[in-house]
Amino acid sequence: MRIEYDKDLTDLTTFKVPAKAAIYAEYDSEKDLLALTRTPEFIDNEFLHIGAGSNLLFISPFKGIVLHSAIKGIKTYRKDDDTVFVIAGAGEKWTDLVDFCLENDIAGLENMAGIPGEVGASAVQNVGAYGAEAADFIHSVECFDVETRKTVLLYSEQCRFGYRDSIFKNEAKGKLIVMRVSYRLRKGTEARNLTYRPLKEFADSLQRTPTIRELAEEVVRLRDSKLPDPSLIGSAGSFFKNPEVNEYFFQEEIRTRGIEMPVYPAGKEGFVKLSGAWLIDHSGLKGSSIGGAEVWPGQPLVIANTGGATGSQVAELADHVVKTVKLKYGIELEPEVNYIDTDIKVTVLGSGTSKGVPEIGCTCPTCMSTDPKDKRLRASVLMETHGLRILIDASPDLRQQALRLGLSRLDAILLTHQHYDHVGGIDDVRPFCIHRDLPIFANPQTAHDLRKRLDYCFREHPYPGVPRLDLHEVECRPFKINGLEVIPIEVMHGKLPIYGYRIGDFAYVTDAKTLDEKEKEKLLGLEVLILNCLRLNQPHFAHLILPEAIALIEELKPRRCYLTHTNHQLGRYAEVSKLLPPGVEFAYDGEVITIKHQPHIHIHHE
Ligand code: EPU
**pLDDT per residue as tens digits for the range 371-411:** 999 999 999 999 999 889 999 999 999 999 999 998 888 99
Indicate if 140 belongs to the active site.
no
**Position 207, amino acid:** Q
Query: How much distance in Å is there from the Cα of 345 to the middle of ligand 1?
Result: 33
Q: What would the mean pLDDT of 247-266 be, rounded to a whole number?
A: 91
Residue to probe by mutation, ligand 1, list 118, 226, 275, 286, most atoms within 8 Å of CB: 275
Q: 323 and 259 in one domain?
A: yes
Residue 222 has pLDDT above 60, yes or no: yes
Residue, of 326 and 96, whose pLDDT is higher: 96
The DSSP bridge partners found for residue 153 are: 142
| Percent of the chain clearing pLDDT 90 (strictly above) | 85
Which CATH number do you get for residue 266? 3.90.78.10
| Percent of the chain clearing pLDDT 70 (strictly above) | 98
Q: Are 130 and 121 in contact (CB under 8 A)?
A: no
pTM: 0.81
Q: Does residue 556 form part of some domain? A: yes
- Locate the ligand 1 atom nearest the alpha carbon of residue 163 and give its number: 39
Query: How much distance in Å is there from the Cα of 277 to the middle of ligand 1?
Result: 6
Q: Please give the DSSP secondary-structure letter assigned to residue 377.
A: P
Q: Does residue 601 form part of some domain? A: no
Q: 468 and 351 in one domain?
A: yes
* pLDDT for residue 231: 86
Which CATH number do you get for residue 119? 3.30.465.10
**pLDDT tens column, 420-443:** 999 999 999 998 988 889 999 999
Residue 285 has pLDDT above 50, yes or no: yes
Q: Give DSSP secondary structure letters for 220-249.
A: HHHHHHHS--TTTSEEEEESBPPPEEEHHH
Q: Is 436 exposed, middle or buried (0-12, 13-18, 19+ CB in 10 A)?
A: middle
Active-site residue identified among 238, 288, 312, 369: 238
* pLDDT for residue 44: 87
Q: Does residue 289 form part of some domain? A: yes
* pLDDT for residue 464: 83
Q: 285 and 430 in one domain?
A: no
Residues with Cβ within 8 Å of 528's Cβ and at least 6 positions away in sequence, in order, are 346, 505, 506, 507, 558, 559, 560, 561, 562, 593, 595
Distances in Å between the Cα of 452 and the Cα atoms of 64, 311, 457, 460, 466 are 42, 45, 10, 14, 15
Instruction: Find the domain containing 51 and state its range.
Output: 2-69
**Vertex 180 angle, CA 179 and 186, to 5°:** 165
Q: 255 and 124 in one domain?
A: no
* pLDDT for residue 63: 86
Q: Does residue 602 form part of some domain? A: no
* pLDDT for residue 36: 96
Task: Tell me the pairing of strands 438-442 and 412-414.
Answer: parallel
CA-derived radius of gyration, the chain:
26
Indicate if 208 belongs to the active site.
no
Q: Would you place residue 605 in the very low, low, confident or very high pLDDT band (cuts 50, 70, 90)?
A: very low
Domain boundary, last residue among 53, 69, 85:
69
Task: Tell me the pairing of strands 106-107 and 176-187.
Answer: antiparallel
Q: How far apart are the first and last CA of the chain?
A: 13
How many whole angstroms separate alpha carbon 235 and alpha carbon 300?
12
Residue to probe by mutation, ligand 1, list 125, 163, 223, 301, most atoms within 8 Å of CB: 301
Residue 606 has pLDDT above 90, yes or no: no
Q: 300 and 366 in one domain?
A: no
> Which residues line ligand 1 at a C-beta cut-off of 6 Å?
129-130, 226, 237-238, 241-242, 262, 275, 277-278, 281, 299-301, 336
List, edge to edge, every strand of the sheet that includes 479-481.
479-481, 484-493, 496-503, 506-509, 528-532, 560-564, 584-586
Q: Would you place residue 602 in the very low, low, confident or very high pLDDT band (cuts 50, 70, 90)?
A: low
Q: What is the largest CA-CA distance in the chain?
A: 87
**Position 369, amino acid:** S
- Locate the ligand 1 atom nearest the alpha carbon of residue 198 and give its number: 19
* pLDDT for residue 529: 98
Q: 430 and 524 in one domain?
A: yes
Q: Does residue 605 form part of some domain? A: no
- What mean pLDDT value characterizes the chain? 94
**Position 38, amino acid:** R
Residue 599 has pLDDT above 70, yes or no: no
Q: 96 and 244 in one domain?
A: no
- Locate the ligand 1 atom nearest the alpha carbon of residue 297 and give its number: 8
**Position 170, amino acid:** N
Indicate if 517 belongs to the active site.
no
Number of domains in the chain: 4
Q: Could you tell me which of 209, 159, 163, 177 has the C-alpha nearest to residue 51?
A: 177
Q: Does residue 603 form part of some domain? A: no
**Vertex 361 angle, CA 355 and 367, to 5°:** 70
Task: Tell me the pairing of strands 244-246 and 271-274.
Answer: antiparallel
Q: Give DSSP secondary structure letters for 511-540.
A: S-SB--HHHHHTTTT-SEEEEE---SSS--
How many whole angstroms separate alpha carbon 469 and alpha carbon 293?
36
Q: 99 and 51 in one domain?
A: no
Q: Are 126 and 135 in contact (CB under 8 A)?
A: yes
Q: 475 and 588 in one domain?
A: yes
3-state secondary structure 23-66: EEEEECCHHHHHHHCCCHHHHCCCEEEECCCCCEEECCCEEEEE
Beta strands in 224-350 (DSSP E): 234-238, 244-246, 263-265, 271-274, 289-290, 293-295, 302-305, 338-340, 344-350
Q: 444 and 541 in one domain?
A: yes
Which CATH number do you get for residue 42? 3.30.43.10
Q: Are 74 and 96 in contact (CB under 8 A)?
A: yes
* Half-sphere exposure of residue 98: CA atoms within 13 angstroms, side-chain side: 22
Domain boundary, last residue among 69, 94, 122:
69
Q: 209 and 167 in one domain?
A: yes
**pLDDT tens column, 550-570:** 999 999 999 999 999 999 999
Domain boundary, last residue among 226, 250, 269:
226
List, edge to edge, every strand of the sheet that includes 438-442.
469-473, 438-442, 412-414, 388-392, 380-385, 344-350, 592-595
